Amino acid sequence: MNIKELIRQNLKNLYASAIPKSLIKIQKTKKEFKGDLTLIVFHLLKISKKNPEQTSKEIGDFLLKNQSIIIKYNAIKGFLNLTFAQKYWIDILNNIHKIDNYGIKNPLISNPLIIVEYSSPNTNKPLHLGHVRNILLGHSISEILKATGNRVIKTNIVNDRGIHICKSMLSWEKWGNGETPNSSKKKGDHLVGNYYTKFNNEYKKEILATKTKGLTQKEAEEKSSLMLEAREMLRKWENKDPKTIHIWETMNNWVYAGFEETYKTLGINFDKIYYESQTYTEGRKHILKGFENGIFYKKNDGSIWANLSHDGFDDKLLLRSDNTSVYITQDIGTAKLRFDDYSFNKMIYVVGNEQNHHFHVLSLLLNKLGFDFSKNLVHFSYGMVELPDGKMKSREGTIVDADDLINEMIQNAKKKSDELGKLKEYANKKNELYKIIGLGALKYFILKIDPHKNIVFNPKESIDFNGNTGAFIQYTYVRIQSILRKSNTEILNTKCVLKNIQIDEKEKNIIQLLSNFPEIIQEAADYLNPSIIANYTYDLAKEYNQFYNNHTILREKIDMIRIFRLVLSYNTGKVIKAGFKLLGIDVPEKM
């Protein structure tokens, strides 16, 4: 029984009343006070019917009398500081040591099924730094939800149709001269992205030239021959024109191969991939049905709209006047198809905060169409990624390409490691270690920040073997593995029982942190926030390094203390590895 539950049961006996779990608030005792853990009493005053001081003393006396693990207390107003017996901490470590998959719950068939959608790339450009944050958040959230016992389906929706796709297609058709990934030795997504940028550059030139003839910006855009050709190509695509479909399939296949290579490098996979080209027709079917049933209305130009004035929003375009679809069309279709496929209990969209309005409207529209699952949609809204010199702009070709970024991170890891001489003993495995360190640095830098905040990403700052970085935590894990290899003891391979040991404050702090791991995972799942696990893992690594610097381990002469410290080290490494796995980060055994 964990300490929260133990205290709750004691309070139930003390007050002869059920105590809600939400009222049991426990935190680490502040350094200026004596104690290990502090019970915040203010939440319990309605039950005790006494003031904070009286309630604290009353609870403290009762716990002291009825629980041998609590050896003393001190009450400071509404804060009850509790000191626990050595045996309590040793028992916690023994229990942690017995559980190989400590902190992780296995999904049960009866548990909720949650769909997590992330990545959601367009096939007109390669993945970039913004996608990387999305992908890492989506993957980590999926793993955290699974670790709390949920069934999770990881999905991706590929935006493989629309005017933006036609821009790349038209550009390649006009200026490509038959170029392919093989002929150019370029990744397919990079090649197609170049033609998207080419279109936009030529479009700007055309607009500028037209404006010199006295037209306004809007008039110039309306007369753009390039944009008219792109829209005509979109109409041909939706009418299944064979030539257009052939170009579309060819270029998309180039992009898919490029995406898959990047996903593989990042260690990312999906349970199912949906394609907008296959889901927009489902959405259009329901929109037309909604129009027939009077839910939506049609303007004079033939476009179909939703009246959202009663919901506090502007009216929403659902189908254009030429009957082509918009983003909301495919999102309606995709949501319906996913529910048909999985009958999910919840669906989480991992999409940046610039789409807050879009997903609010999506839920409203699905509700208007009579889909009950609309109430179970969650938009996980996260902040943008910026560079030290400003925002990325894909149309101008100033994005940070994901592949270039990954390569830069690996090269930074190589440079830093070589400067410090960290990997001089591992000549044959250096490249593999550079990759683990570089990707670990990238992932940790992004995931340690609260998802709701914007990130200013500087690759060089993320590679450091000191401070709150992935490399520091990886190196701590490697240090632990080195100690264990040198210990030459079989005790760690058995579920040994430690007892009658005096431990100091630093050792107690580590055990306390280890005991928090299951709650940390649950908190991260409740708030959909991987940074909770990232920063917890850093705190654990930092605490262990302080312990390591002040204590002997292998040279400790007293056998039971040496074994205790080895067990403590082993389980610290076990939790670091488990925490990093939830973040999608590997840890090397040697470094």
Convert the pLDDT of each residue in 167-183 to its tens digit: 999 999 999 999 999 99
Does 291 share its domain with 435? Answer: no
- 490 or 308, which is more confident? 308
Burial class, 26, CB count within 10 angstroms (exposed 0-12 / middle 13-18 / buried 19+): middle
Residue 117 backbone dihedrals phi, psi, to 5 degrees: -100, 130
- Same domain (yes/no): 131, 271: yes
Q: How far apart are CA 133 and CA 140, in angstroms?
A: 11
Same domain, 392 and 448: no
Question: How many Å apart are CA 553 and CA 562, to the nearest integer?
Answer: 6
> Total structural domains in the chain?
3
Is there a single domain that holds both residue 263 and residue 290?
A: yes
Which has the minimum average pLDDT: 178-192, 477-491, 522-536, 577-591?
Answer: 477-491
User: Which is nearest to 188 in space by CA: 199, 204, 176?
Assistant: 176
- pLDDT tops 60 at residue 271: yes
At residue 395 the predicted structure's pLDDT band, cuts being 50, 70 and 90, is very low
User: Is the pLDDT confidence value at 489 over 90?
Assistant: no
Q: Which of residues 84, 108, 135 is at a domain's end?
A: 84
Residues 434 and 512 in one domain: yes
Domain hosting 50: range is 3-84
Compute the distance between CA of residue 563 and CA of residue 552 in angstroms, rounded to an integer: 11
Same domain? For 143 and 250 the reply is: yes
Mean pLDDT for the stretch of residues 37-60: 94
Between these two residues, 385 and 291, which has the higher pLDDT value? 291
- For 522-562, write each residue's pLDDT tens digit: 999 999 999 999 999 999 999 999 999 999 999 999 888 99
For residues 351-367, give the mean pLDDT: 95
What sign does the dihedral 313-319-322-324 (CA atoms) show? positive
Domain membership of residue 353 (yes or no) is yes
Domain assignment of residue 122, yes or no: yes
Whether residues 168 and 239 share a domain: the answer is yes
- 309-353 pLDDT, tens digit per residue, is 999 999 999 998 988 888 899 999 999 999 999 999 999 999 999
Greater pLDDT, 431 or 152: 152
Identify the CATH number of the domain in which residue 183 sits: 3.40.50.620
Domain containing residue 80: CATH number: 3.30.1360.70
User: What percent of the chain stands above pLDDT 70?
Assistant: 94
